[in-house]
Structure 1
Amino acid sequence: MCWLVHSVTRSSRLVLATNDQSPGAAGQPVQQAPLGDVPGDKLGFGALDEAIYANLDVTTGGISWNLVFLAAHPEYQDLLAAELAARNGSPDERRRYILGNSTLLAACIAESSRLRPLAAFSVPQSAPTERRVDGYRIPAGTDFIVDSYGLNLRSGFWGPDAATYRPQRFLEKGALEMRYHFWRFGFGPRQCMANTLPTS
């Protein structure tokens, strides 16, 4: 999604030919529109706005699926309420709970993201060098995508109940163990730049 927003943003800064009446000229980009005398802090706010608004649909989808799963599983609502009540001390204690990654709340969010990934496939990438993956030779320059449903649901890693909403699985397995079995924000240098926002 980020690549689409950036593409549209770049395109929107192009000045379109309006006076050229030659065939095929209408709507053709002719020059890059100048940014003008925009102070540096305004450019920073523009980037921040883009990061926030470009992710509204993703954020809304993530929150919505989490609520749908919790509504369908009231037993987890009760467990979450009890866990939160046990940490209902100081604001700092509540903040640490909300930001923690070993809580039932974090597990519920991760499980809803696993079952309903917000992107079915990764942004297409190209293999920089020749690789061997599971016995297959991948030549350098080969384009590929990652199937998030393949990793998150159809992988044997998640067990026979992979299609079942069971947040505890995220409390039973370590982060390193799950690293390449759970597609949420991508891997490595090409992962979503806002990957820490949903969990902070």
Structure 2
Amino acid sequence: RWNTRQLLKIIYEPEYAKAVYSRGDPKASDLYDFFLQWIGKGLLVLHGPKWFQHRKLLTPGFHHDVLKPYVAVMANSARVMLDKWEEKAREDKSFDIYHDVGHMALELLMKCTFGKGTSGLNYSDNAYHLAVRDLTLLMQQRLSSFQYHNDFIYWLTPHGRRFLRACRVAHDHTDQVIRERKAALQDKEEQERIQSRRHLDFLDILLGAQDEDRVKLPDADLRAEVDTFMFGGHDTTTRGISWFLYCMALNPEHQHRCREEIREILGDRDSIQGEDLGKMTYLTMCIRESFRLYPPVPQVYRQLSEPVSFVDGRSLPAGSLISLHIYALHRNSAVWPDPEVFDPLRFSLENMAGRHPFAFLPFSAGPRNCIGQQFAMNEMKVVAALSLLRFEFAPDPSRPPIPMPQLTLCSKTGIHLRLTSLGQGSGK
């Protein structure tokens, strides 16, 4: 898949996954070094003591109580997208939902990261929005084009120059926001205003993070973590939401059952609160089953820092490159009977109880699992619930999606769905 002098070993069996991913081996530098120009050395690419320091400092920012107020932010961003979809539903033809979901997910993330959303986007914010979108696309293209793997060649190409321009825009925006926020925090009144807000944004949490010796992250590390959060939290949730809605379109009986559950929870309300998310049992099962069939990140890579021995007696030496093929793991018939069938009951409490803990890994596993998985699940539930209340989704048989595993799980043909409006709010 990429330019390396070593053989890549692919694993897709739970015991093998456990042997490697329950440890803290570093990410495979042959692949993840491509990310450095944009996201720098944040959690995604760090390893060793510095990774541990960052992970420890950032973990409190993803606590349940910190994430709860974001639900209203997520709901507002989703409604803007769904209002646009009312017009598209009236056209009575299918359309590719990916672009709209991506736009919504990125604006939502900007609001949660910088405290800004659609209403507060200025010229610089819009330029940043476009830069992040560009960088994500260019990164995907670079990984899938072998001739672009050499840095010297890539930076001379139009794609490489475009990537560097977008990097400058993204970095300048993040640096400016960090400078302004740090300056504002010197003002006592501004400090009190930030603390009294309904929710702290990700940048507030980063600026406040400190270890036992009261050491804070330097500006370069702050920018790396902001850029990592924007990269890691934008395209993955876009893919997750898009594939979930496709699964709902293909399975109207499950779509109907999710909608009924949401109506029962919300009653006459058309807004979602943090407390509602834990009650969405069937919707959560359907989201997990869509993650099983279409994991947003289809492969994750490690480089062994020490030898590993597997249960069958095989072993690999230190330095080996390993790919956990999540897409193949989730369709492994030895673990999942009838793996191509969409069956949310696989994720009932009874069925999950006897399953191998490394059989289902949409957020990877072990100490280097996805720090933002609860944020992502909350976003999935909010957007999915509000979407199902507003619309009935149906597939377009003439344009089925063709899964294409890249950095994230793309579709060669987009994800074209037909929407029928159920009316505003709760759909009653």
TM-score (normalised: structure 2)? 0.36
Aligned residue among 74, 96, 105 for 2:275 = 96
Residues 154 and 145 (structure 1), Cα distance of their counterparts in 2 relative to 1, 3 Å cut: same
Aligned residue among 145, 163, 169 for 2:346 = 169
Residues 177 and 111 (structure 1), Cα distance of their counterparts in 2 relative to 1, 3 Å cut: same
Per-residue deviation, 1:86: 2.2
Q: Equivalents in 2 of 1:155, 1:127: separation in Å?
A: 31
Instruction: Confirm or deny that 1:9 pairs with 2:9.
Output: no
- SS of equivalent to 1:197: helix
AA of the residue aligned to 1:10: G
State the identity as a percent. 27
Instruction: Output one character per residue of 1:124-156: Cα deviation in whole Å (capped at 9) or x when no partner.
Output: 331523312433222333221111122100241
Q: Is the 8 A contact 2:304 2:317 kept in 1?
A: no
- Matched with 1:87 is 265
Residues 45 and 120 (structure 1), Cα distance of their counterparts in 2 relative to 1, 3 Å cut: closer
AA of the residue aligned to 1:106: T
AA of the residue aligned to 2:40: R
Per-residue deviation, 1:185: 1.1
Gaps of 5+ in 1: 12-23, 28-34
- Matched with 1:31 is none
AA of the residue aligned to 1:190: R
Per-residue deviation, 1:90: 9.1
Gaps of 5+ in 2: 1-26, 42-151, 156-174, 183-205, 208-217, 379-428
Instruction: Confirm or deny that 1:181 pairs with 2:359.
Output: yes
Residues 87 and 178 (structure 1), Cα distance of their counterparts in 2 relative to 1, 3 Å cut: farther
RMSD over equivalenced CA pairs, Å: 3.6
Aligned residue among 135, 145, 149 for 2:313 = 135
Q: Is the 8 A contact 1:87 1:94 kept in 2?
A: no
- SS of equivalent to 1:84: helix
Instruction: Output one character per residue of 1:44-84: Cα deviation in whole Å (capped at 9) or x when no partner.
Output: 57734540344211111000000011011111111112212
Instruction: Output one character per residue of 1:105-130: Cα deviation in whole Å (capped at 9) or x when no partner.
Output: 11111111110112222123315233
- SS of equivalent to 1:122: strand
Q: Equivalents in 2 of 1:132, 1:54: separation in Å?
A: 30
Higher relative contact order (CA 8 A, sep 6+): 2
Q: Equivalents in 1 of 2:317, 2:333: separation in Å?
A: 24
Q: Equivalents in 2 of 1:63, 1:75: separation in Å?
A: 19
TM-score (normalised: structure 1)? 0.71
